[in-house]
Chain A
Amino acid sequence: MKTDPMVILKRKIVNRMMIALFTIAVIISIGALAAILWKLSVAGLKGFTLDVFLKSTPAPGTGGGLLNAIVGSVVLVVTGLIGAIPIGIMAGTYLAEYGRNSRLGDVIRFCTDILLSAPSIIIGLFIYGIIVLPSGHFSAWAGAASLCLIALPVIVRTTEDMLRLVPDSLREAAIALGCPYWKMIVKIGWKAARPGIVTGILLALARISGETAPLLFTSLNNQFSTSTMNGPIASLPIVIFQFAMSPYKDWQNLAWSGAFLITITVLAINILSRSVFFKKRTQ
């Protein structure tokens, strides 16, 4: 059989071209990450002094920092997580243990998956409707609640997935010894799945640390430090949004410092969660 040399040449050229395009695609993708991190480091480190951590958000033209925003963010994120962790782990446990093959489990899984990718601004609208509107004012509670709802599906999903990795022989052994079902879950299931569940919590933490949209009309913003959860509270993402969109140079610089801080934190948590999980897998 003779092959047409033109066909061979054409295949070769197309192949080379596509390989080049794949390489370009990956260079652009990685390049985007590098470009973002580069810009963040250059612009973020310029005004990155101790003042960022020690002073509150300033009026334009007067020096200041991001203290109240950082504190506010920590308060919101921690409160949101405290709400999401128990509910998420319990719901994930139901999906992996009691409701494993049930119709109800399928419906819940569907809701979890949709909520996982649903626009976060919709969560903000929802919380606005059920908390801000009836109470008549923006509050830190509302902001924390919206972050809680965003963290929830992440924790549910990872908990379920990790519990499903626990071999059934372990469960059977515990049940065979007369262990009550719930005790088997707590002592065998949760214990074996712990690194995975921690990974899920860390991923949820990373996810909600940078969330801006759901806070826009729940916790709003606050120029000052606040000690009450019943009023508006400053948060890092919202301050970044406000300052970055402003025409003042010093506000923009502070926004970059905040952006740098938030990105480093989120990426560090992400990488940490990966290492927690992979350590477990290689054991």
Chain B
Amino acid sequence: MSMTQQSSVNWDKSAGALFAREQVKKLPMPKGEYFEGPFKIATRAASFLLIAVMAAIFLLLLYQSFPVFKTFGFTFITSSRWNPVSNNFGSLASIVGTLVTSLIAVIFGVPLALGSAFFLNELCPFKLRSTLSTMIELLAAIPSIIYGMWGLFVWVPIMSHVIQPAMIKNLGGIPLVGGFFQGPPFGIGTLTAGLILSVMILPFIASVSLQAFKSVPASLREAAYGTGANVWEICWKIIIPYTKTSVIGAIMLGLGRALGETMAVTFVIGNAHRLSLSLLAPGTTISATLANEFAEAFGNTYIASLLALGLILFLITFVILSITRILLLSTKRRMPL
């Protein structure tokens, strides 16, 4: 066995280490040995804290929101009546809003992210590559509240004066899909929120996909180019099949981020607890409802209902992020920061 192989296996169980440890035990106690126990316990305690936090979040939300499910039962999830004054709470509008905005974000964000990743992987001049990928990653560093302001002050006027009137005029009359594009052009609303979210999740999807694309063996790509495949065929028939799992993982990660995104959505969604077919109408999401109402909530039922919303959001994102992690781990990749 060569040296490099030996060091890549579980080293503290390797014969050399076991032997060395036995020998060390025979020696007089080295300086500082007594600190070994406390140090190990401290590291273990710190890492236990992460499990504890995770479990505590779940238990606390469950405990606090228990009265809500007892009072309203399933109607808390199936009703869209959210009326703090009459103490009547149903979260359907928030849940649907969360899912719809995230879906819009994925629909617009995925092509942009994958297109950018393909460009950086196949077409980009080498000198520009790291600059451009850093710039895309910086999109993820911009705080969510900045996206919110950008959305409210830049996109809402554009949406209400240009894009939405055009949509209402051209798409509103089409049967079946027309209903999605009807109503007055407020500017704020589900569609605007989804579009802002698509820009926010783009860097996550792009950077995870790009990493995966880079892992495609050069011989595969060279063989394909050698037999006359063009750029698009390389991307679609070589890279995508090879990295399918990671790319789906990246998309799920984007979805998970979009579901829980708060501030950007709060700025542009309009906070209306109303189910409406139109994507142009104001709506709300779980996170936006929490951000808008929690600090001013009055009465036990109201606060408990908001915490129950939090529980629902936590469970949805937990499932999505767990799937993401399984997909990424199966290709030896980890969740990005």
Contact B123–A25 (Cβ < 8 Å)? no
Contact with B along A33-65 (1 / 0, CB 8 A): 101100110010000000000000000000000
Chain A residues closer than 8 Å to B334, beta-carbon distance: 113, 157, 161
| B35 nearest in chain A by CB position | A182
Contact partner, B144, options A97, A179, A210, Cβ 8 Å:
A210
Q: A75 within 8 Å of B by Cβ?
A: no
Contact B115–A168 (Cβ < 8 Å)? no
Contact B32–A175 (Cβ < 8 Å)? no
Chain A residues closer than 8 Å to B233, beta-carbon distance: 11, 15
Chain B residues closer than 8 Å to A126, beta-carbon distance: 53, 56-57, 60-61
Known: A167-B7, A259-B149. A23 touches B119 (CB 8 A): yes
Contact B325–A180 (Cβ < 8 Å)? no
Chain A residues closer than 8 Å to B1, beta-carbon distance: none
Interface residues of B in 30-53 (CB under 8 A from A): 30, 32-33, 35-36, 39-40, 42-51, 53
Contact A87–B46 (Cβ < 8 Å)? yes
Q: Which of B81-89, B178-186, B312-320 contacts A (4 or more CB under 8 A)?
A: B312-320
Q: A68 within 8 Å of B by Cβ?
A: no
How distant is A124 from chain B, measured CB to nearest CB, in Å? 8
Contact partner, B313, options A101, A119, A167, A274, Cβ 8 Å:
A119
Contact B136–A118 (Cβ < 8 Å)? no
Cα of A17 to Cα of B127 in the assembled complex, Å: 24
Chain B residues closer than 8 Å to A14, beta-carbon distance: 232
Q: B11 within 8 Å of A by Cβ?
A: yes
Interface residues of A in 193-218 (CB under 8 A from B): 203, 206, 209-213, 216-217
Cα of A98 to Cα of B39 in the assembled complex, Å: 11
Chain B residues closer than 8 Å to A12, beta-carbon distance: 230
Contact A118–B154 (Cβ < 8 Å)? no
Contact partner, B143, options A94, A182, A262, Cβ 8 Å:
A262
Cα of A40 to Cα of B33 in the assembled complex, Å: 55
Q: A183 within 8 Å of B by Cβ?
A: yes
How distant is B28 from chain A, measured CB to nearest CB, in Å? 9
Contact with A along B100-123 (1 / 0, CB 8 A): 000000000001111110111011
Contact A111–B53 (Cβ < 8 Å)? yes
| B259 nearest in chain A by CB position | A119
Chain A residues closer than 8 Å to B313, beta-carbon distance: 119, 121-122
Inter-chain contact total with CB atoms closer than 8 Å: 298
Cα of A8 to Cα of B33 in the assembled complex, Å: 73
Contact partner, A240, options B24, B149, B335, Cβ 8 Å:
B149
How distant is B140 from chain A, measured CB to nearest CB, in Å? 9
Q: Which of B66-74, B168-176, B238-246, B290-298 contacts A (4 or more CB under 8 A)?
A: B290-298
Q: A152 within 8 Å of B by Cβ?
A: yes
Q: B310 within 8 Å of A by Cβ?
A: yes
Contact with A along B1-41 (1 / 0, CB 8 A): 00100011011000011001100100100101101100110
Contact B287–A213 (Cβ < 8 Å)? yes
Chain A residues closer than 8 Å to B123, beta-carbon distance: 19, 22-23
Contact A210–B145 (Cβ < 8 Å)? yes
Contact with A along B251-279 (1 / 0, CB 8 A): 00100110111110011000000000000
Chain B residues closer than 8 Å to A167, beta-carbon distance: 7
Contact B261–A266 (Cβ < 8 Å)? no
Q: B64 within 8 Å of A by Cβ?
A: yes
Q: B166 within 8 Å of A by Cβ?
A: no
Interface of B is mostly: helix
Contact with B along A147-178 (1 / 0, CB 8 A): 00100111011100100000111011001101
Contact B11–A171 (Cβ < 8 Å)? yes
How distant is A24 from chain B, measured CB to nearest CB, in Å? 7
Known: A35-B154, A94-B44, A111-B53. A121 touches B310 (CB 8 A): yes
Contact B24–A175 (Cβ < 8 Å)? yes
Contact B310–A39 (Cβ < 8 Å)? no
| B203 nearest in chain A by CB position | A29
Cα of A209 to Cα of B143 in the assembled complex, Å: 8
How distant is A77 from chain B, measured CB to nearest CB, in Å? 12
Chain A residues closer than 8 Å to B114, beta-carbon distance: 25
Contact partner, B119, options A25, A211, A220, Cβ 8 Å:
A25
Known: A26-B132, A29-B116, A266-B142. A99 touches B44 (CB 8 A): yes
A residues neighboring B (CB under 8 Å): 11-12, 14-15, 18-19, 21-26, 28-30, 32-33, 35-36, 39-40, 43, 86-88, 90-91, 93-95, 97-101, 104-105, 107-108, 110-126, 128-130, 149, 152-154, 156-158, 161, 167-169, 171-172, 175-176, 178-183, 185, 203, 206, 209-213, 216-217, 220, 237, 240-241, 244-245, 255-256, 259, 262-263, 266-267, 270-271, 274
Q: What are 26 A-B pairs with beta-carbon distances under 8 A? A: A19-B123, A21-B111, A24-B115, A29-B136, A30-B132, A88-B46, A97-B43, A111-B53, A112-B50, A113-B325, A113-B335, A114-B318, A117-B256, A129-B61, A129-B307, A158-B337, A161-B334, A175-B20, A181-B36, A210-B144, A212-B143, A212-B144, A244-B267, A262-B143, A263-B143, A263-B146
B residues neighboring A (CB under 8 Å): 3, 7-8, 10-11, 16-17, 20-21, 24, 27, 30, 32-33, 35-36, 39-40, 42-51, 53-54, 56-57, 60-61, 64, 111-116, 118-120, 122-124, 132, 134-136, 138-139, 141-150, 152-154, 199, 202-203, 206, 230-233, 235, 253, 256-257, 259-263, 266-267, 287, 290-291, 294-295, 307, 310, 313-314, 317-318, 321-322, 324-325, 334-335, 337
Besides the contacts A18-B232, A121-B310, A209-B143, what 13 more A-B pairs have beta carbons closer than 8 Å? A15-B231, A18-B235, A91-B43, A91-B47, A94-B47, A98-B43, A104-B47, A108-B48, A121-B313, A125-B294, A168-B7, A245-B152, A263-B143
